[in-house]
A and B are shown apart, each in its own frame.
Chain A
Amino acid sequence: MSLPFSPEEFMISKQELELNPSSRVPICLVLDTSYSMNGEPIKELNNGVKLFMEAIRRDDIACASAELSLVTFGGEVKQLFDFGSIHRQTIPHLAVEGVTPMGAAVNHALDLLERRKSMYSDSGVDYFQPWIVIMTDGAPTDDITIAAQRTSELVSNKKLTVFPIGIGPHADMTTLHQFSPKRRPLRLKGLRFVEFFEWLSKSVSAVSQSTPGEKVKTEAVDDWAEL
C-alpha cells in the first residue's frame, strides 16, 4: 500500500531523537574457589563461566544490558572484576586456594552492587532487579551472619534476587538458604556447571528484553539441578 505522503519529507532523523543508555541487568557471581574445588569441579566451573560470558556476548540485547562482577572466595576474597560490560571483560581462569570465606565474599559483592546502583542513579541509567549467584561446595569458614542479613533484607524488599547453588554432596544447603529467604538453594546435578550457566545466560536474555509489568519466565531447571 502506498503512503499518503512522501516518507522522505516526513521522516525524523536520528539527530532529532534522544539516546538513552540501555537498561542494565547487574549480575554478581560469587564463586567458591577453595581447595576442595580442586580437580574436575574447578575445571567445569571455568568452563561454565566461559560459556556464560560467550553466550551473553552472542546476544546483542543481553550484551548491551548485562553487567557482570565476579568475586571468588578461596583462601581470601578476590574481586576478579567490578561491574562492567561483559564484552570488555576478559574471561577469567579460576584457580583453587585455601579456605572458604563466604561471608566476606558476599559482603564484598553487596558493596560492589550498592556502589553500582549509586552510579546508575547518578547517571540516569535504568536497571532491572540485580542478581547474585552464590556457588559453593562446602561450608563457610567465616561468619556469614551480617552478609546473610543483608541479602535477606534486600530479597524481602524485592531489591535483589539470590541464586544459591550447592555443588556436590558436601555443600551446606542450610547456610546457603540463609542468604535467600525466598528462593530455596538448589544442588547442582553432578558437575553440570555448563548447563547451569547456559540457563543463567538465557534468563539474563529474557530479563533484558522484558517490559514493565512483564513476569519473566525462566526455563526449567531440571537440566542442571537436583530436584
Chain B
Amino acid sequence: MTITHWKIANAQTAGRGHLKSNIPCQDYTYSMQENGLTILLLADGAGYAKHSHKGAEAVVKKTASLLADHFDEYFTAEDDDQLKRVIIRELHEEIKMIEGFEGDIKQYASTLLFIAIKGDQYVAGHIGDGLIGKEQDGELKVFSFPENGQFVNTTFFVTSEDAWKHFRLYKGLVGTAAGFVLMSDGTAESLFNKKEERLAPAITRMFEWLRDHPSQKISAVLANNLDAVIKEQTHDDCSIAIASLVTLDPEVLLAADNEYLRDFMGTHSRLPDERKPSNPELGQEIADGAPSE
C-alpha cells in the first residue's frame, strides 16, 4: 500500500523593468490546501493598469474562496459557459470591493490561471497569457497554452469585454498526472520553448525539489531562482506556482519529522481573507504571495 498527497509551493518577483521604474510587482500567486482540496492560483496584472497589482491579488483570493466553497458544484456543472459567466461576475464584484476602488475595473486588469484538485478530480481555468503545464508519466506537457492577441504585447484579462469567451475552463480526472505548474508570461520566457511548444527540464527539477523538501523551503528556493536566473531573460515580472504528487510507503510517513507531517496534513497552508488555518498552532504562512520587490 502507498499513500499519495500533493505538496505546493509558489513565488513571484518584480521584473527588471518594474524595479527600474519603481512599479510594484503585478504578478500574484497563491496556493492552499483545505479539506482534501489543493489549489494553485496565479494572476499577472496588466502593465497599463494603474491598480493591476491589487486586481491580481483580489481575483486570486476570490477565485481561491470560490473553489474552496464550490469545487463539487463546479466539477459537476453541465453548462460551462454559464459557470464561466458566474465566476467572471463574482470576480468583477470582488474588484469593485477593493478598498479605494476608483470606478473603472479595467484599471485592475489581470490574467488568471488556476487548478484545483480534489481526490482524482480537477477543475482548472485560464484567461490570457502565461501557461499551465503538467507532468504525466514522466513527461512534461502543456496543459493550457498562452492566449495572446495578434501581437506579443496584447492578451486577454479578467476585466476584458466578454472575458468569459476567453475563459478556458477544464474539468476532468487527474489520472497519472504527478505535477502541475502555473507560470506567468515572464517566467514562460525561460520555461517554455514557444517554437517547439516544449517545457523546460528545470520544471522537472522543481517538482523533485518539492517532493523531497518542505513546501516552505521550496517556495523560498523558487523565489531565489526567479530572482537569480529566470528574471534575467525578461523585463517582465516573474511568478510560478507548483504542485507535486508525493507517493509514500506508510512506514516512511511514520518516521517522518514534524515539518514534513505538516506539509502532509496541509496545515502549512492557509486560506485567504477571514478564513483561519484548521489548526492555528500549526498553521504557517507559506502560501501567501505578497509581492517581493
Residues of A within 8 A of B224 (CB): 3, 5, 7, 10-11
Interface of B is mostly: mixed
Q: Is the CB of A17 within 8 A of B202?
A: yes
- Asked if A88 is an interface residue, CB under 8 A from chain B, the answer is no
Q: Which of A1-56 contact B (CB under 8 A)?
A: 3-5, 7, 10-12, 14, 16-20, 23
The contact of A211 among B17, B193, B196, B221, by CB within 8 Å, is B17
- Asked if A149 is an interface residue, CB under 8 A from chain B, the answer is no
Q: Is the CB of A4 within 8 A of B220?
A: yes
- Asked if B34 is an interface residue, CB under 8 A from chain A, the answer is no
Instruction: Report how far A159 CA is from B154 CA in the complex, Å.
Output: 12
- Asked if B174 is an interface residue, CB under 8 A from chain A, the answer is no
Instruction: Report how far A209 CA is from B44 CA in the complex, Å.
Output: 16
The contact of B205 among A5, A12, A61, by CB within 8 Å, is A12
Residues of A within 8 A of B1 (CB): none
Q: Is the CB of B202 within 8 A of A214?
A: no
Q: Which of B184-233 contact A (CB under 8 A)?
A: 185-186, 189-196, 198-202, 205-206, 209, 213, 216-217, 220-221, 224-225, 228-230, 233
Instruction: Report how far A11 CA is from B202 CA in the complex, Å.
Output: 10
A212-B46 contact in complex given A4-B220, A129-B151, C-beta closer than 8 Å: yes
Residues of B within 8 A of A7 (CB): 224, 228
Q: Is the CB of B205 within 8 A of A211?
A: no
Instruction: Report how far A158 CA is from B154 CA in the complex, Å.
Output: 11
Closest to B129 in A: A212
Residues of B within 8 A of A19 (CB): 193, 233
- Asked if A174 is an interface residue, CB under 8 A from chain B, the answer is no
Residues of A within 8 A of B154 (CB): 212-213
B interface size (C-beta, 8 A): 51
- Asked if B152 is an interface residue, CB under 8 A from chain A, the answer is yes
The contact of A3 among B17, B49, B220, by CB within 8 Å, is B220
A127-B220 contact in complex given A209-B17, A212-B129, A214-B48, C-beta closer than 8 Å: no
A124-B196 contact in complex given A17-B190, A212-B148, A212-B155, C-beta closer than 8 Å: yes
The contact of A212 among B185, B190, B191, by CB within 8 Å, is B185
The contact of A210 among B47, B185, B193, by CB within 8 Å, is B47
Q: Is the CB of A212 within 8 A of B128?
A: yes
Q: Which of A183-214 contact B (CB under 8 A)?
A: 207, 209-214
The contact of B195 among A17, A123, A129, by CB within 8 Å, is A123
Q: Is the CB of A214 within 8 A of B153?
A: yes
Instruction: Report how far A159 CA is from B189 CA in the complex, Å.
Output: 24
Residues of B within 8 A of A142 (CB): none
Q: Is the CB of B221 within 8 A of A213?
A: no
Binary interface encoding of chain B residues 22-56 relative to chain A, with 1 for a CB under 8 A from any of its CBs, else 0: 00000000000000000000001011110010000
- Asked if A128 is an interface residue, CB under 8 A from chain B, the answer is yes
- Asked if A223 is an interface residue, CB under 8 A from chain B, the answer is no
Binary interface encoding of chain A residues 110-127 relative to chain B, with 1 for a CB under 8 A from any of its CBs, else 0: 000000000000011111
Closest to A211 in B: B47
- Asked if A215 is an interface residue, CB under 8 A from chain B, the answer is yes
Closest to A130 in B: B151
Q: Is the CB of A159 within 8 A of B150?
A: yes
Not counting A20-B195, A212-B154, a sample of 12 additional A-B residue pairs whose C-beta atoms are within 8 angstroms of each other reads A3-B224, A4-B217, A10-B224, A12-B225, A16-B201, A17-B202, A17-B230, A20-B189, A128-B151, A211-B47, A211-B185, A212-B185
Nearest 7 Cβ contacts at the A-B interface: A124-B195, A214-B47, A213-B46, A126-B152, A16-B202, A18-B193, A215-B48
17 residue pairs A–B, Cβ–Cβ below 8 Å: A4-B216, A5-B217, A7-B228, A10-B224, A16-B201, A17-B230, A18-B199, A125-B195, A127-B152, A128-B152, A210-B47, A211-B15, A211-B236, A212-B111, A213-B46, A213-B157, A214-B46
